[in-house]
Structure 1
Amino acid sequence: MTSMTHVILPFLLRKGGSLLLLLLAVSSISFMLVHFSPIDPIQAYVGADMLRVSAEQREAIMQYWGLNDPPLVRYWNWISALVKGDLGTSMIFRRPVLEVIGERFAASLTLMGAAWLLSGLIGFVSGVLAAMNRNTWIDKLVRWYCYTLSSTPTFWVGLLFMLVFAVWLGILPIGLAVPAGVTSDQVHFLDRVRHMLLPALTLSVTGIAAIALHTREKLIHVTESDYWLFARARGERGFTLFWRHGLRNVALPAITLQFASFSELFGGAVLAEQVFSYPGLGQAAVEAGLRGDIPLLLGIVLFSAVFVYTGNTMADLSYRLIDPRMKTGKRL
């Protein structure tokens, strides 16, 4: 246990330092891009009443949000507040950015968690079946599915599912996270599940391809190894052969790839939530970008960077905890 702590602790410290540098780079680049954005934050803030806003009112709004200050001063003020845990106030929701992110991420976490589990399990099983039945109709079907879905945009899959299951068949709701016109105390758990099915299914089917193809190639490489051929010569077949000699060799890369897919998962969630009007963090990011909500947009950018980096760190850490060969290594 002590040796494991000595190995894991330096790894976490290095990852923590790398995360700080990453956030500094992301924050500076994001702030620069927002500054040069063609969107006028005042016009986006006021909306259709822009023609009724006088020059004095416009100046007061800019003074209130600190838009009159030079870019470096605004960036320094924002970083100083960020160090204290203050991401500012959302211009759209009139609430603290941290509060908005926490509320929206709670909705997105359920959606992304369900899609992440489904895509990982289905992708792994599909890859195993394709490799164990190489060059058969099962293998060709899995590869056709993966190549097709990997080149298909997430929003198009979402629109297709909406058309089939919500419009034509009418068995699932067309969007939102809860039924329209219903108070929160009247919403049941099954209502939330039904509204989450289509966006979760959209994220799942588009995330299967990478894990399935990777697992297939890895298992095919295992089936061509000497110890696999020796096991077959001893009479081992089917699931027993895979369980004893193939599972661990293909499970570790699959787990690493699955944790590393957090960036694709978050990007897909942005599109899926927008298509289904699902009130998650992805939809808030799109709304913040279109309406010039700079504090919320920058907060979501930083949060997404932490989210993706955490997924990559968990991938590295899980690999080292599962693979015994990594426990005795001097470097991580």
Structure 2
Amino acid sequence: MYVKRFVHYFLGKSIRLATLLVAVSILSFILVDSSPIDPVRSYVGADMNRVSPEQRQEIAEYWGLNEPSYIQFSNWVKAILQGDLGTSLIYRSPVKDVIAERFLASLALMGVAWVLSGVIGFLLGIVSGMKEGTWLDRMIKGYCYTLASTPTFWLGLLLLMVFSVWLGWFPVGLGTPAGVVAEDVSFMEKLRHLLLPALTLSVVGISSIALHTRQKLIDVLNSDYIRYAKSKGTNGWKLIYHHGLRNISLPAISLHFASFGEIFGGAVLAEQVFSYPGLGQAVVDAGLGGDVPLLLGIVLCSTIFVFVGNLFADLLYNVVNPQIRRGRG
């Protein structure tokens, strides 16, 4: 019975993912096709004035840009079904190789930022909920509201100006030192290049997790079983650990795993500010350069990335709260 339920669950998730990928692909292609950017002009670059109309026609025929939009889309879909994401017009290499290289860099950045935002936000929410109404609670709430209204790129520029330009503690940008082969860069040097973009990106999720955790903890502390535990002499962190942690962790997990899309969107801005060679910067380059195969490939990969994050959250609910599993049963 459990095997049958397990098969139905993943079959339903697979159908949802396939439907989502089809919808995202069609919408993304329509938006890219409607863009005023000329892919041929972006491909040629500064030498556009030196290229004859015949050469432009040959370039368009080589990349299939002279075909009608529906033909281009159908050819792209056929190639996708065969496992071929196409060739990037900007980087002159297979899209899957570009995504694989850039995704590893972005994964390190988003992973560090995701962990930082979850841990910091959860701890701030617990402290604020325990100290409701005090100066500490008001200070944390003000801090969270300020973070929620702060643009990612502005904070990145501020951190870059203070810690890189004025103090010189961190490099100005890039993922590795300029002029040094990536294999020769030490782990600590990579960490120095990663820290400021990760701190900038972690701001995206701190405020929402902290404020929701705070409110949930306040509700838990006002419940009857908490009053009963207090009457038995249980207080402070011991009370939270034994009686409230599981209840307040569920909304935190829900929000944190659902923030994959926000973190990826924030990574686009953070990577642009710090010139970090990740997937977000590749998205901007592909959009400005009219690189349809690369842009659509990144859209598909990011969709799967966000979907898998939400799937992990759904599975983790059952571990944290067995009542959900029994309710489904």
Smaller-chain TM-score bracket: over 0.9
Which residue of the other structure, out of 246, 249, 255, is the alignment partner of 1:248? 246
Q: What residue is the counterpart of 1:70 in the other structure?
A: 68
Distance (whole Å) between structure 2 residues aligned to residue 124 and residue 141 of structure 1: 16
Q: Which runs of 5+ in 2 are unaligned?
A: none
Distance (whole Å) between structure 1 residues aligned to residue 135 and residue 7 of structure 2: 48
TM (normalized to structure 2)? 0.97
Q: What residue is the counterpart of 1:23 in the other structure?
A: 21
8 Å contact kept, 1:158–1:272: yes
Distance (whole Å) between structure 2 residues aligned to residue 139 and residue 211 of structure 1: 15
Distance (whole Å) between structure 1 residues aligned to residue 32 and residue 114 of structure 2: 31
Distance (whole Å) between structure 2 residues aligned to residue 34 and residue 244 of structure 1: 53
Q: Deviations over 1:218-255 (max 9, x none)?
A: 10110111111111122111011111111000012211
Which residue of the other structure, out of 139, 155, 162, is the alignment partner of 1:141? 139
8 Å contact kept, 1:285–1:300: yes
CA positional deviation for 1:185: 3.3
Q: Which runs of 5+ in 1 are unaligned?
A: none
Which residue of the other structure, out of 115, 122, 125, is the alignment partner of 2:123? 125
Alignment of structure 1 residues 163-202 onto 2, 5 Å: 163-202=161-200
Q: What residue is the counterpart of 1:310 in the other structure?
A: 308
TM (normalized to structure 1)? 0.97
Tell me which moved more, 226-235 or 261-270.
226-235
Q: Deviations over 1:30-57 (max 9, x none)?
A: 1111111111111111111111110110
Paired positions, count: 329
CA positional deviation for 1:206: 3.1
Q: Deviations over 1:45-80 (max 9, x none)?
A: 111111111011000011001111111111111001
Distance (whole Å) between structure 2 residues aligned to residue 296 and residue 185 of structure 1: 26
Distance (whole Å) between structure 2 residues aligned to residue 197 and residue 164 of structure 1: 14
Which residue of the other structure, out of 125, 138, 150, is the alignment partner of 2:148? 150
CA positional deviation for 1:322: 2.4
Distance (whole Å) between structure 1 residues aligned to residue 175 and residue 319 of structure 2: 37
Q: What residue is the counterpart of 1:94 in the other structure?
A: 92
Does residue 288 in structure 1 map to residue 298 in structure 2? no
Distance (whole Å) between structure 2 residues aligned to residue 239 and residue 322 of structure 1: 19
Aligned partner of residue 173 in structure 1, secondary structure: coil
8 Å contact kept, 1:131–1:219: yes
Alignment of structure 1 residues 261-272 onto 2, 5 Å: 261-272=259-270
Aligned partner of residue 83 in structure 2, secondary structure: coil
The one-letter code sitting in structure 2 at the alignment partner of 1:19 is: L
Distance (whole Å) between structure 2 residues aligned to residue 212 and residue 330 of structure 1: 29
Distance (whole Å) between structure 1 residues aligned to residue 85 and residue 174 of structure 2: 27
CA positional deviation for 1:305: 1.0
Distance (whole Å) between structure 1 residues aligned to residue 7 and residue 219 of structure 2: 34
The one-letter code sitting in structure 2 at the alignment partner of 1:76 is: S
Which residue of the other structure, out of 33, 36, 41, is the alignment partner of 1:35? 33
Distance (whole Å) between structure 1 residues aligned to residue 326 and residue 235 of structure 2: 34
The one-letter code sitting in structure 2 at the alignment partner of 1:145 is: Y
The one-letter code sitting in structure 1 at the alignment partner of 2:105 is: A
Which residue of the other structure, out of 206, 214, 220, is the alignment partner of 1:208? 206
Moved over 4 A (4+): none
8 Å contact kept, 2:204–2:262: no
Distance (whole Å) between structure 1 residues aligned to residue 279 and residue 117 of structure 2: 20
Q: What residue is the counterpart of 1:56 in the other structure?
A: 54
Q: Deviations over 1:7-34 (max 9, x none)?
A: 4332221111100000000101111111
Q: What residue is the counterpart of 2:217 in the other structure?
A: 219
1:185–1:305 CA distance, 2 compared to 1 (3 A): closer
Distance (whole Å) between structure 2 residues aligned to residue 289 and residue 74 of structure 1: 17
Q: What residue is the counterpart of 1:325 in the other structure?
A: 323
Does residue 110 in structure 1 map to residue 91 in structure 2? no
Tell me which moved more, 8-17 or 18-27.
8-17
Which residue of the other structure, out of 74, 77, 82, is the alignment partner of 1:84? 82
Distance (whole Å) between structure 1 residues aligned to residue 196 and residue 28 of structure 2: 32
The one-letter code sitting in structure 2 at the alignment partner of 1:245 is: H
CA positional deviation for 1:312: 1.3
Note the aligned Cα RMSD (angstroms).
Answer: 1.2
CA positional deviation for 1:144: 0.6
Percentage of identical aligned residues: 58
Distance (whole Å) between structure 2 residues aligned to residue 8 and residue 224 of structure 1: 37
Distance (whole Å) between structure 1 residues aligned to residue 183 and residue 30 of structure 2: 43
The one-letter code sitting in structure 2 at the alignment partner of 1:196 is: L
CA positional deviation for 1:133: 0.5
